[in-house]
Structure 1
Amino acid sequence: MNEFSQYIKLIGKGKKSGKYLTQEQANDAFHLLLTGQAEPEQVGAFLMLLRVREESEQELAGFVQAAREYSPLAIQQINADLDMGCYAGKRRHLPWFILAMLCLAQSGKRIFLHGCKEPDSNRLYLPDVFNALNIPISHTAEQAKAQLEKSGFAYMDLQQVNPQLNKLIQMRSLFGLRSPANTLARMLNPTSAPFSFHGVYHRHFDERHINVAKLLGDKHVSCIRGEGGEVEVNPERGFIQHLIHNDVISQLEFPTLLPNWQIKPRSLTPDELRQCWTGELQFEYAQQAITGTIACYLTLLDSIDVGQALTKAKQMWAERNTQFEFY
Structure 2
Amino acid sequence: MSTILECIRTVGRGERGRKPLTFDQAYRVMDEYLDGHADDDQMAMLLMLIRVQNETKQEIAGFVKAFQSRVPNLGADIDWPCYAGKRKNAGEPWHLLAAKILADAGYKVLLHGYHDRPAGRFHAEDYLTSLGIDLADSPDHAKLLLETKGIAYLPLSQFAPQAETMIGWKNRYGLRTPINTVVRALNPGGAKIGIRGSFHPGFQQLHAEVESEIGLTSHAVVSFKGQSGESEYNPKVSQTIWLSTPTGVESHYWTERMLTDIPTPASCVFGTDDSNLNMMANTVVATIAATLFAELNDPDKAFENAYQLWSNYCA
> Same-fold call, TM > 0.5?
yes
Please show how residues 143-222 of structure 1 align to structure 2 within 5 Å.
143-218=141-216, 219-222=219-222
C-alpha distance 299-134 of structure 1, shift in aligned 2 (>3 A): closer
Separation (CA, whole Å) in 2 of partners of 1:171 and 1:129: 26
Separation (CA, whole Å) in 2 of partners of 1:287 and 1:14: 51
Aligned 8 A contact 1:241 1:251 in 2? yes
Which residue in 2 is equivalent to 1:138? 136
List runs of 5+ in structure 1 lacking aligned partners. 261-270, 323-327
Report SS of the residue matched to 1:221: strand
Aligned-partner residue type, residue 293 of structure 1: T
Aligned-partner residue type, residue 96 of structure 2: I
Q: Which moved more, 1:82-91 or 1:125-134?
A: 125-134
Q: What count of residue pairs does the alignment treat as equivalent?
A: 305
Q: CA deviation at 1:43?
A: 2.0
Report SS of the residue matched to 1:283: helix
Q: CA deviation at 1:191?
A: 2.3
Which residue in 1 is equivalent to 2:14? 14
Which residue in 1 is equivalent to 2:291? 297
Aligned 8 A contact 1:197 1:221 in 2? yes
Aligned 8 A contact 1:223 1:241 in 2? yes
**Once the two structures are superposed, what CA deviation does each residue of 1:169-225 show, in whole Å capped at 9, x if it has no partner?**
122220222211110000111222112211111112111122221111133111111
**Once the two structures are superposed, what CA deviation does each residue of 1:12-56 show, in whole Å capped at 9, x if it has no partner?**
113221121111111111112222222232122112111111111
Aligned 8 A contact 1:70 1:164 in 2? no
Aligned 8 A contact 1:79 1:145 in 2? yes
Which residue in 2 is equivalent to 1:116? 114
Report SS of the residue matched to 1:319: helix
Report SS of the residue matched to 2:13: coil
- Percent sequence identity is 31
Report SS of the residue matched to 2:250: strand
Q: CA deviation at 1:131?
A: 4.8
Aligned 8 A contact 1:118 1:172 in 2? no
**Pick from 309, 315, 321: which aligns with 2:302?**
309
Please show how residues 36-185 of structure 1 align to structure 2 within 5 Å.
36-71=36-71, 75-76=72-73, 78-91=74-87, 92-118=90-116, 120-131=118-129, 135-185=133-183
Q: Structure 1 stretches (4+) deviating beyond 6 angstroms? A: 279-282
Which residue in 2 is equivalent to 1:263? none
Cα RMSD after superposing both structures: 2.3
Aligned 8 A contact 2:130 2:269 in 1? no
Which residue in 2 is equivalent to 1:32? 32
Q: CA deviation at 1:134?
A: 6.1
What's the TM-score once normalised by structure 2's chain length?
Answer: 0.89
Q: CA deviation at 1:132?
A: 5.9
Report SS of the residue matched to 2:313: coil
Which residue in 1 is equivalent to 2:311? 318
Report SS of the residue matched to 2:33: helix
**Pick from 275, 282, 288: which aligns with 1:288?**
282
